[in-house]
Structure 1
């Protein structure tokens, strides 16, 4: 079985991606072929070479420049592209179906993930009639300062608002539904202020048409979970990252994996250099999210108000 998997990074995240790739390879079944595409904006030849060293006989790693992909995507119809390509690259995961028409189904993973089981288990999940599979965003479901944001701004109940760091995508259905074109139309007509950019668009456009995946495939470290339980994938989203903090879920597995990558020393140095100033900055970033959400509650034109009229929804 061939399993297409997408990541997207720049040079800053190469070391993190190496750990995710190594963990994926560690659990890859010899029965499958894992076709990994790393989308990038800027990624040096040195980093590409280091990341390629993680590849095995059945874990293949290919690099694809986002600028090139977007240029190809829009070269036949420049009227579709009213925004600068550089601006659109932040929404890359919403264009995977359009950029890679040869794939029918795929997985998307953020770089700050640690694969704990064979990712084929995720790929084989049946999405039913839906084109997107994801796990709910666990922080927004319980954070008293942010839990109102999905419903009031995005138009999705917090319990159904998903995290876009791990996605199972039926690319054929997304193309049939013209997902990318609908998103572009929405983006060009409105300039929404959001706290989670592409994640908010994905939730709003696919409201009530997402298959909720087992939480094990996106155990997020923003909330407590049983690291000794059935964990398929750990997502170090937002601030609790093992290369910054010691007391982080599955940190021992992370470091055992990291120590077998070409970036082991770089990651250890990052941890050693993270100080109280950086910790305080994380607190400021969280408060900034809360402040932005509170400001957006006052906006009259939001994803919720626009999508409630049926614009661009699936």
Structure 2
């Protein structure tokens, strides 16, 4: 038996994905088998070779090209609808993993800006019952009033503390297929065209509400200036704009650099950090503020999750 793990990456994210995969390898059990599948839209030959070079006897790396033509057969719909509405379909690729890989009934998805601090098999082995998936509550936005307002007033999810982050997912792949998650997703996005600050995450939270297993916070430790670091994190996730290759003082940054220095991308990553100016950092934080401020626009729209749910169930 192999443990299936998925990432979605691009050329721009190759260096970070390499570091994440290296951290996974460093903590893997030599007596277990792991299959990492990288979902890509485009990836240069150089980066393909670089990532494939990480393979070991028990850790296999596959590169799977995904595009609109491949996603369209999952549901008879125009995939370009998503592209026009949300710039790129790639943020939604994780939602299609269960349908694209029917050979697996259970699998892990990881964002590329993660560091694995334990054997990933420990996550895979968690029993989460008949739930659709397992993830951690989104602590990165816990102390951001506008984003808390978004969860309550726009999403209509109570308490807001149960809103999950989908950067680390333990999928019940069979349940996603059996419950026809993708059909529900396409139906909702076509009928309501919800305005979201986090489209893929919003749909997972809403469609699967009350069928989500909440993992302990150690499985998705995210930088947050209003919280102390979580002791002994199992996975560190540099969510939103808080990247160690942009901010030297970011929480949990040492976990990234301890692995990065083992990789051929270390010099490139350090140069990227050095080249990121105070003005760049100011713009990055402004981007977070802009995302939060979008909430005031969404809450007044005629169609929001919260308003639709007053008369219609959106859950699977």
- For the superposition of Structure 1 and Structure 2, which TM-score range results when normalised by the shorter chain? over 0.9
TM-score (norm 2): 0.93
Question: What is aligned with 2:63?
Answer: 63
User: 1:102 Cα deviation (Å)?
Assistant: 1.0
Q: Is the 8 A contact 1:222 1:237 kept in 2?
A: no
Q: Is the 8 A contact 1:307 1:313 kept in 2?
A: no
Question: What is aligned with 2:299?
Answer: 297
Name the SS of the counterpart of 1:134 in structure 2: strand
Question: What is aligned with 1:37?
Answer: 37
Unaligned runs of 5+ in 2: none
Name the SS of the counterpart of 1:31 in structure 2: coil
Q: Is the 8 A contact 1:154 1:304 kept in 2?
A: yes
User: 1:85 Cα deviation (Å)?
Assistant: 7.1
> Structure 1: how far apart are the matches of 2:73 and 2:172?
25
Question: What is aligned with 1:175?
Answer: 177
Number of residues of Structure 1 aligned to a counterpart in Structure 2:
310
Q: Which moved more, 1:250-259 or 1:200-209?
A: 250-259
User: 1:283 Cα deviation (Å)?
Assistant: 2.1
Q: Is the 8 A contact 1:219 1:225 kept in 2?
A: no
TM-score (norm 1): 0.93
Question: Post-superposition, which runs of at least 4 consecutive aligned residues in structure 1 deviate over 6 A?
Answer: none
Q: Is the 8 A contact 1:150 1:156 kept in 2?
A: yes
Unaligned runs of 5+ in 1: none
Q: Is the 8 A contact 1:134 1:164 kept in 2?
A: yes
Q: Classify 1:76/1:225 alpha carbon distance in 2 versus 1 (closer, same or farther; 3 Å).
A: closer
> Structure 2: how far apart are the matches of 1:204 and 1:48?
35
Q: Deviations over 1:55-112 (max 9, x none)?
A: 2111111111111xx52443486x3336457553331111111111111100000000
Question: What is aligned with 2:232?
Answer: 230
Q: Is the 8 A contact 1:83 1:188 kept in 2?
A: no
Q: Classify 1:186/1:275 alpha carbon distance in 2 versus 1 (closer, same or farther; 3 Å).
A: same
> Structure 2: how far apart are the matches of 1:276 and 1:82?
39
Name the SS of the counterpart of 1:172 in structure 2: helix
Q: Classify 1:310/1:177 alpha carbon distance in 2 versus 1 (closer, same or farther; 3 Å).
A: farther
> Structure 2: how far apart are the matches of 1:95 and 1:225?
35
> Structure 2: how far apart are the matches of 1:110 and 1:307?
29
> Structure 1: how far apart are the matches of 2:162 and 2:147?
14
Name the SS of the counterpart of 1:80 in structure 2: coil
User: 1:175 Cα deviation (Å)?
Assistant: 0.5
Question: What is aligned with 1:257?
Answer: 259
> Structure 1: how far apart are the matches of 2:80 and 2:112?
26
Q: Which moved more, 1:113-122 or 1:251-260?
A: 251-260
Question: What is aligned with 2:197?
Answer: 195
Q: Is the 8 A contact 1:183 1:312 kept in 2?
A: no
Q: Deviations over 1:115-159 (max 9, x none)?
A: 011111111111112011110011333212321111211121211
CA RMSD of aligned residues (A): 1.8
Q: Classify 1:249/1:76 alpha carbon distance in 2 versus 1 (closer, same or farther; 3 Å).
A: closer
Q: Classify 1:294/1:49 alpha carbon distance in 2 versus 1 (closer, same or farther; 3 Å).
A: same
